[in-house]
Structure 1
């Protein structure tokens, strides 16, 4: 039986407590994983504090070289990393490989950003009294960063926090999701092999509240970056005081399909957006608003395509949908489906679960107040409603407490531009699904979808302090 210790100060450190980690799909025991206490978390912060000077003084080209080296090492061990993700997260192996490929690229973006953290000159004589002075800004590392990541992209979402943090010369304490700690420890080992200074990256797994409270309230932690639920994010913000925070929270991402859309192209993209990795994606397509002129045709063809989605073992090369992350989530989603049916929705396909796997489910004519519509479902469930225009669809998209990303399929440029202006979201994808993301674009939401932006450049800027310098030549 593998025993996974904590990773503190460049060393594997035994914990006072361990928990059994099981694969969501097969139920097999994967490891006994350390569950950090508050004291052990404080030790990780102390190690990060001790490593601050080494990281702060490391030249940008060396930080870049470390990140390039890490990405090359991960590329060499791509299949091993993908298998870890597939087993601990029940992520279909093809999707797991795609995540590793993105993770490699994310660390490469971080390597590039290490060399681009620049300031600007300020024209001091633009103001009266500023004559004879030189002014400029510079960016300096913010210090120790506390990072809390979710289960659904255990490698890449960690990379979106670890990569920019190290690129900017910070140190970091990473708290991975309880179901997916092995991915974080795998990356920590690679960084150690790559030559990262001891203590620059520390990994502490275990109870979210125990570890999170220490990170959020510790006086030596300067910044918190969190991806997870709005409820937890709200708690973090209330406890963080004057600490800087970035919060990537919930979503019920929607797409509007205009009457002129090419369904041969739109339907496969929507199936991908709704069901990849069993819908456990922050920007998974959850709501579809389709123009009434094409609604009947769209629903029939979309439901038929959903029925063809392969479900089962995540290690099967053809699987798109495997087990939900916990049995509680299976129970919850079945209850939400039943609630929608009781409220008048009809099930076009799916609605049943087998051995932890919820079949791809399509619900039609769902009331807005049903949980599957107004909350984040995080499952292979999509709701389809009919609208008479993109403008009506936009109103429905905005009728949500979330606003992460949205999509619009239309061939009318004026309609597209109007939708861009009016949709309340951090990102609007024209002629694509809201599930689209590449790793250097700005990513974040409005309303209860969060605060701040990720995307390597934008995260690195958040993780630095802007300092102004003035020389008086008089």
Structure 2
């Protein structure tokens, strides 16, 4: 059953509730961030429709809880196969709705396929452990073990920047663990979520297990967070929204993947030519709209000048333009409002001692890749999350000084360090106050099976399929009394 209906002008979408396409009373236009043209009419759910989706997920709980692991794995494996067959179509949907350059959209689809494969594999190895009860005096004659049981209905609220893979990071482990889902995709990128929902239906997922509800966060998101039938909320987005969810969630479990201003330390004696391309990718892929985008670089004074020169030269060569052009590296930010915000932040640096060595301007509506040298830590481009193709580069006298600068942040998602000294690497791995330390690579490194999450205002909980399943299950203890006397 197709969830998308084409009219003469654009795509008209439906909500997916209990396996049915459901119309809303209100629709809003979805515009391309790059061209400004209308690409879809999006259904706007209200409270009642959101509650219907939650009811469908709640009523389907037993079906999923009783579904054997091999069957859950088969469905997830089938989704991965179907997505591989439709990979180019999926990449074009991502690119059209988010302005992600097609080269990066194709990479996201490849990762999404992997994420569903990992989910299928993890579905088969959800297990507990035995407890040595006789280690306690009162435990003699007893044996015990733990089980992991599905938590129930999971509310998944996803962002625009990886609209297919970050949906997979919530839906994949949820289904692997035997849960049901109410998914609210980002308002700018609902088409990729609806596309995946079609694949799940084709793969044999029972009705009501995955419900997709599009609409404003203040309506749909709040209804999901506040409904007592929802057992867990998993959210990726801004710290302000994440903190609001935590405050409203009550005793629900929450996994919150929030923001960062990720940093890289470059030690002395590093061959700059060998790392520039990775730094370009880390700072500018997907227009810097990545939670672990490289936003701050602290380079040792011995290599600082060379790094700034070569990094700037490389940034100026990046092609700006249409996201569907395979040669394009940088395209439009998700909205004009975002571009204006970042321009204001760049403007703030002009009254400081910082120097803009590359970019800093809009070119045909696209923000150029921007490098700012010598930025004070109080400037917004340094201390807040830019979520744009903007990176600062500062000079430090030692790795110790660099680590102090990295840790001087509200955030702590991931950090990277390039060093040839094993003692320095070990010191950095211990001293950096972040969720992940990446040695001899940029902080933007991620593969989908690793534990991913941060400290401080970067959030709570961990994603990465096996780790997400731990969050999405409840631990149950079973104790057997073998003694005759009880």
TM-score normalised to structure 1 length = 0.99
Q: Which residue of 2 aligns with 1:122?
A: 131
Matched, 1:99 2:89: no
**Cα distance between partner residues in 2 of 1:172 and 1:246:** 14
- Alpha-carbon deviation of 1:356? 2.5
Deviation at 1:206, TM superposition (A): 0.9
Equivalent residue number for residue 208 of structure 1 = 217
Shift of the alpha carbon at 1:212? 1.1
Residue of structure 1 in register with 2:266 after alignment = 257
1:408-423 matched pairs, under 5 angstroms: 408-423=417-432
**1:3 aligns with one of 12, 28, 34:** 12
Instruction: Map 1:338-417; keep pairs closer than 5 Å.
Output: 338-417=347-426
Q: Give the CA deviation at 1:173.
A: 0.3
Aligned pair count? 474
Unaligned stretches of 5+ in structure 2? 1-9
The alignment's C-alpha RMSD in Å is 0.6
Within a 5 Å distance, the mapping from 1:28-177 to structure 2 comes to: 28-177=37-186
Q: 1:336 aligns with which of 316, 331, 345?
A: 345
Q: Choose from 468, 472, 480 the match for 1:471.
A: 480
3-state secondary structure, aligned to 2:147: strand
Which residue is equivalent to 2:242?
233
The CA deviation string for residues 72-106 of structure 1, in whole angstroms up to 9 with x for no partner, is 00000000000000000000001000000000000
Q: Deviations over 1:315-368 (max 9, x none)?
A: 010111100000001111111001012122111010000233100001011010
- After TM superposition, the score normalised by the length of structure 2 is 0.97
Give the secondary-structure state (helix, strand or coil) at the position aligned to 2:447.
coil
CA distance in structure 1 between the aligned counterparts of 2:50 and 2:41, rounded to whole angstroms:
18
Distance (whole Å) between structure 2 residues aligned to residue 343 and residue 299 of structure 1: 18
**1:27: how far off?**
1.2
Which residue is equivalent to 1:433?
442
1:129 counterpart SS class: helix
Query: Separation in 1 of the partners of 2:433 and 2:200?
Result: 39
Q: Deviations over 1:285-308 (max 9, x none)?
A: 000000001111111111000000
Find the counterpart in structure 2 of residue 221 from structure 1.
230
Following TM superposition, where does structure 1 have runs of at least 4 consecutive aligned residues deviating by more than 6 angstroms? none
Does residue 328 of structure 2 align to residue 285 of structure 1? Answer: no
The farther-off stretch of 99-108 and 260-269 is 260-269
